[in-house]
Amino acid sequence: MAIWGSQTVATCTESPTVLHDDIGADRVMTDDIFDPTYCEKKGPKPTIKIVWRNVILMSLLHAGALYGLFLIPSSMFITLAWSMACFMASALGVTAGAHRLWSHRSYKAKLPLRIFLAVVNSMAFQNDIYEWARDHRAHHKYSETDADPHNAMRGFFFSHIGWLLMRKHPDVIEKGKKLDLSDLKADNVVMFQRRNYKLSILLMCFIIPTVVPWYFWGESLLVAFYVPCLLRYTVVLNATWLVNSAAHMYGNRPYDKNINPRENLGVAIGAIGEGFHNYHHTFPFDYSSSEFGVKYNITTAFIDLMCFLGLASDCKRVSKETIMARKMRTGDGSHRSG
């Protein structure tokens, strides 16, 4: 789609824009760094094959979430608080877990924290951690090309939800297979969740959010199923997807004007700290996914708390000097005007 009009992205003929002097080299892998050598194949694009099963399931889910919205006034206050707690837990399972820990290795987590993050990641039901991290590394390494699973060059709808409703582009599969995933294979927590994924999502995403309000404080099963379960699940999904869609389209590019990911405060708030996306694609190894630490960034506050409790360590940050030098070199100048 031609939404992108005048915007440009780095092509395979340009030299790398990422300086390799500070890419978090002590991480287990660096396959989340943009690879400018990949070239999209010439000629017509492969035909789109829609996965009707996913279309039907996603439509039913969103219809259920809409019904859940109308049930909010008849929900008990404690059920709404429970829904919020489930939202926060499942969002952290994606942001602090699948994203910053497992996709980018931006900090280290001890076993109890990894177990917690895997459990709440199942509550978010966004494919298992292994698959999520593989797709996400491909998203960074081949950003906005045919090998990017949710290539934003294909428009808002495709990068938001459309990519989950159709078969992957062959290059996504081909390049995804070549990524270094050895660190994930070596992580027993990740592989245990993958082996038991169906059972874990049934329990964490559907049964527990529904049964707890019904059993412990007598909420009706109808409200318990539609509000903390379906509505909460759908909100977390869309908040995550907005990082792939809106944060690749709307906002400033103070760190690198040559790439499309943007700084989007609305997405940062909704996705508990993941909307500083121009920064994140420029410095994917930063545990804060932002220049500004805990500001509008609950995920960073959570990781900081885990460090304080001794459950996390080795948080990777980019120095102020490196950030400023990068802003001056490739930024769009918007940082000077705030």
Q: Which of 15, 133, 93 is nearest to 302 (CA)?
A: 93
Please identify, among the stretches 70-78, 167-175, 177-185, 258-266, the one whose residues bind Zn ion according to the rule CB under 5 A: 258-266
Closest CB to Zn ion among 93 and 261? 261
- Beta carbon nearer to Zn ion, 213 or 261: 261
Query: Phi and psi dihedrals of 215, rounded to 5?
Result: -80, -45
Nearest-approach distance from CB 256 to Zn ion, in angstroms: 12
Q: Given the complex with Zn ion, which of 79 and 240 has the nearer CB atom?
A: 240
Segment near Zn ion (CB under 5 A), from 64-72, 213-221, 259-267, 319-327? 259-267
CB of 182 to Zn ion, least distance (A): 19
List the interface residues with Zn ion, window 84-113 (CB under 5 A): none
CB of 149 to Zn ion, least distance (A): 10
Nearer Cβ to Zn ion (83/297): 297
Q: Is 122 helix (H, G, I), strand (E, B) or coil?
A: helix
- The footprint of Zn ion on this chain (CB under 5 A) covers a number of residues equal to 1
Interaction residues for Zn ion, span 175-204 (CB under 5 A): none
Within 10 angstroms of residue 3's Cβ, the number of other Cβ atoms is 11
Tokens of 27: 């991480």
Interior CA angle at 82 toward 204 and 118, to 5°? Answer: 30
Task: Report the candidate in 39, 205, 240, 33 with the shortest Cα–Cα distance to residue 132.
Answer: 240
Q: Which is nearer to Zn ion, 141 or 327 (CB)?
A: 141
Nearest residue to Zn ion, by Cβ distance, number only: 261
**Non-local CB neighbours of 88 within 8 Å, separated by 6+ positions:** 272, 298
* 3-state secondary structure (DSSP) of residue 263: strand
273: left (phi over 0), alpha (psi -120 to 50) or beta: left
Interacting stretch for Zn ion, rule CB under 5 A, among 87-95, 177-185, 256-264, 314-322?
256-264
Give the nearer residue to Zn ion in terms of CB position, either 68 or 261.
261
Do the beta carbons of residue 81 and residue 219 sit within 8 Å?
Answer: no
Stretch that binds Zn ion, among 34-42, 173-181, 257-265, 315-323 (CB under 5 A): 257-265
Q: Which of residues 261-300 bind Zn ion (CB under 5 A)?
A: 261
Nearer to Zn ion, 261 or 273 (CB): 261
d(CA 258, CA 238): 27
61's CB contacts (< 8 A; 6+ apart) are 230, 233, 234
Query: In the complex, what is the shortest distance from the CB of residue 209 to Zn ion, in angstroms, rounded to a whole number?
Result: 26
Residues found near Zn ion in the complex (CB under 5 A): 261
